[in-house]
Chains A and B, each alone.
Chain A
């Protein structure tokens, strides 16, 4: 158990819908990263938040957005869903401790868009 929690574990929805994925980082971790794992694209970085502020964006679609709240949990919002958005979405957290920084991953949310 990494200490990072993600809810829900599974999500089935229809095209055009909107969903929210939630991530609670390990206690004391200020950074949250979101990644998408799909069969065709592999593991890709989406976005990074540090202590409530957006720090970096990767291959994140405009239909997707995220935020980190004052209690440091984060939410990833996916809207106008398409079949191709079906994937496993991971969040990871870290303390940003310099060279020794390690990202610890949650169990993921598996999204199926029908």
Chain B
């Protein structure tokens, strides 16, 4: 069985500061990993995904994530936060194609002016 842990249910950064959202996973087999973003009153939008190609994955809106097998981590980063980045971010793992996603508890990112 797979599981996902997101450290920090709330993260607050200043505009222009580095964004770091943490995600650790457990899986019995090499997983596929995803980050989704949920803006208020909206659905989930895919930010980026890791599917065993490059370990550093670039996504939309300037976000990227690095898969570190030794640390079982897939942390999400962005060099400079914008006010528009304020949202809830979910890390998810999937074992194989055609399988469901298992989500972490989510991290709400707040960006201060």
> How many B residues have CB within 8 A of the partner chain?
23
Interface size class of A (residues with CB under 8 A): 20 to 34
Contacts between chains A and B (CB distance < 8 A), count: 56
Chain A residue with the shortest CB-CB distance to B32: A99
A58 surroundings in chain B (CB, below 8 A) = 100
Instruction: Tell me which residues across on chain B come within 8 A of A42, comparing CB atoms.
Output: 103-106
Chain B residues with CB under 8 A of A43: 90, 103, 106
Q: Is the CB of B52 within 8 A of A99?
A: yes
Determine the distance from Cα of A83 to Cα of B101 in the docked complex, in whole angstroms. 26
Cα distance A50–B98 in the bound complex, in angstroms: 9
Give the distance to chain A from B106, nearest Cβ to Cβ, in Å: 7
Asked if B55 lies at the interface with its beta carbon under 8 angstroms from chain A, I say no
In the bound complex, do residue A100 and residue B51 qualify as a contact, i.e. CB atoms below 8 Å apart? yes
Q: How far is the CB of B54 from chain A (nearest CB, A)?
A: 13
A contacts, CB < 8 Å to B:
2, 4, 31, 33, 35, 42-45, 48, 50, 55-56, 58, 90, 92, 96-108
